[in-house]
Amino acid sequence: MELGLGGRVAIIAAASRGLGKATACALAREGAHVVIAARGTTDLEKTAKEIRRAVANEGLENEVLAVRADVSIEADIEALVDAARERFGRIDILVNNAGGPRAGRFSDMEDTDWLGAINLNLMSTIRLTRLVLPEMRSRRWGRIINITSFAVKQPIPNLILSNTARSGVVAMAKTLAGEVAVEGITVNNVCPGYILTDRVRRLARATAQTQNARAKDVLAGWEASIPTGRLGKPQELAAVIAFLASEQASYVTGTTIQVDGGLVAGLL
């Protein structure tokens, strides 16, 4: 299928590793110029080189711009968007993504924990979207895709901060989708299940501590709960995002799509 992404410009947040990195690779291989952001310069530059090499190997000429940015800091978000505009003149696709807040139960959390989680996972999405939306409206084309978690459909024990903040993203996105659909802009969420990333490995270790177990046993238990019998691969989520970013997905908006191997038990 021709996705029609050649020459489009995409910002992907938290893209030096894991789901963000896989997404940037997928969009770049479809011919999009990608602007990748992350807090750590070393991993970010390494990822940029890997994507440039992959693009060159496929005979493409699109560009990769790496911008160090912490999406929990408003000034960094503004600088990221400014850098993308300065290099490419526009932004067509925004993939909102951020690491998760710390694990724990309700009684473990103070106001600073709640506010930090909301700033990291909800406000980063709101701020980035607010910055790119006016130009998408002026061109009557845009794609906004938020990477959340299956927790928005089936809350995960011991992750009360993430469950709460990410659910706010879904509520915001669903409302915004209805406001901008007539202007050629789609807004969708993707909900990864247990996909083998550094974040999932950390969650397994944190869960193991609360259960007096081993992290590998926690991972094995998660695998056993998934109908496909395995953890997902970052590339499998990235493929769904690439479709949602495409010309072909122009009639898909306001959706929250699981990529979870069948883990979520609910009907919707």
Q: What are the pLDDT tens digits along the chain (268 aa)?
A: 889 999 999 999 999 999 999 999 999 999 999 999 999 999 999 999 999 999 998 899 899 999 999 999 999 999 999 999 999 999 999 999 999 999 899 999 999 999 999 999 999 999 999 999 999 999 999 999 999 999 999 999 889 999 999 999 999 999 999 999 999 999 999 999 999 988 888 888 888 888 888 989 889 999 999 999 999 999 999 999 999 999 999 999 999 999 999 999 988 8
Same domain flag for 206 and 249: no
Total number of domains in the chain? 2
The predicted model scores a pTM of: 0.94
Q: What is the CATH number of the domain that holds 57?
A: 3.40.50.720
In a domain, 265, yes or no: no
Same domain flag for 169 and 46: yes
In a domain, 266, yes or no: no
Same domain flag for 87 and 205: no
- Residues near 192 by beta carbon (within 8 Å), at least 6 away in sequence: 19, 147, 149, 150, 232, 237, 259, 260
Same domain flag for 189 and 200: no
